[in-house]
Amino acid sequence: MTLHVQTRPDIRRALVWGSLLAGLWIVVALIRPTSTFHLAPLLIAGGPPVLFGLDVPDRPNRRSVLRIGAASFAMALAASGVVAAIGAMEGPPFEAFPSPLVEAVIFSVLGSVAGIGFSVIRTR
């Protein structure tokens, strides 16, 4: 009898890159509080699922893609909250958004949906 071991994909590498992006955004926002980094939440939320989907040699399983997408979305929201709490989100938002925090939340949602969508398409 031979045991068949199914390895679980490692999501840590993609989450480390996402947390590095979040940390970088916080540091840069501290240096330039009046500048708005519109795409930072989008990259933090969407980057890890895309990196994970590209990093796995086979097709990634959907459960792992959803887990990493949810974790990176939470990471983007947390980074947005930190940047707002320290008063470094004082730049102008795009005209369609009432405030930079609302813009960051919407871009986090868009990034997470796009990143998960990209990796789920690879599961087919």
Please give the pLDDT value at position 90.
85
Measured CA to CA, the distance from residue 124 to residue 119 in angstroms comes to 9
Residues 24-53: tens digit of each pLDDT: 999 999 999 888 888 999 999 999 999 998
CA distances for 97 relative to 32, 43, 92, angstroms: 21, 19, 10
Q: Report residue 90 as tokens.
A: 């004082």
Please give the pLDDT value at position 7.
57
Q: Report residue 119 as tokens.
A: 């990796």
Q: Report residue 48 as tokens.
A: 């890890």
Report pTM. Answer: 0.87
- Annotate 65-119 with DSSP letters as a single string: HHHHHHHHHHHHHHHHHHHHHTT---SPPPTTSSSHHHHHHHHHHHHHHHHHHHH
